[in-house]
Amino acid sequence: MHNSVDIVIPVLNEEKALPESVNRLHDFLTNTIKSKWRILIADNGSTDTTPQVCKELAKKYKELSYIRIEQRGRGRALRKAWLESGADIVTYMDVDLSTDLRALPALLRAFDEGYHIAIGTRLSSDAKVHLRSIKREFISRTYNLIIKLLFFTRFQDAQCGFKAMTKATAHRIIPTVMDQGWFFDSELLIIADKNGFKIKEVPVTWTDDPDSRVRVINTAWTDLKGLLRLRLWGLPKVRPPDTT
């Protein structure tokens, strides 16, 4: 049974979205999660008033902390937040809360079932996806199909911004991940899957954010270069931690 959970929200210039998202998340955690929990905002080089917003939210909520990472890169932010966390379970979710929070308890239950990693999936038959453009859906499904063809992985959705792992897993696997940006998730999952880490996929209800900052084509191209690097250079060997 896990005793503590850190929920990390990596942000870049999110002064407008942060207050409402944190309020919603705090209310949900207060009413739903029985374990000790903390919201950790990882400010990834913001140049707007995000730092000030974080300070105000930390005054409002004793369960909220924030860190500042001067260099940009979501992978860099998650690496620092997760490796420096003292919680039993480390998670992350996107600031827009595109994934319905009701999937979070199922994500956390995976660790009581002996899994090392738990991830949300938008691509299973039980998942529900709203307002997503045909272009984004096509690129996402094609990208995940390429991962399967190159590495014969078992997971379906590498890119859903809704993931969790045990502290022991984070400390084993993150040091082997090279990418510091958007490919961080995919690289981590591929390494984990091919080294026998147990990954639980939880179907989610997901609503596309029309104001998303993600540049789909550029990100997809960067991800494809990352896949090629892993395919040509090979994957590191990592032993999964004991989950008993």
The C-alpha atoms of residue 203 and residue 196 are separated, in whole angstroms, by 21
Q: What pTM value is reported for the model?
A: 0.93
Q: Which two tokens stand for residue 97?
A: 């809360």
Classify domain 4-233 by CATH architecture.
Alpha-Beta Complex (3.90)
Q: What is the pLDDT of residue 243?
A: 76
Residues in the chain: 244
DSSP-derived 3-state class of residue 150 = helix
pLDDT of amino acid 214: 57
R_g of the chain, CA atoms, integer Å? 17
Q: Is the dihedral of CA 26, 171, 110, 145 positive or negative?
A: positive
**pLDDT < 70 stretches in the chain:** 1, 210-217, 244
- What lies within 8 Å, CB to CB, of 157 at 6+ separation is 119, 120, 121, 122, 123, 124, 140, 144, 201
CB 5 within 8 A of CB 36: yes
Burial grade of 37 (CB within 10 A; 0-12, 13-18, 19 or more): buried
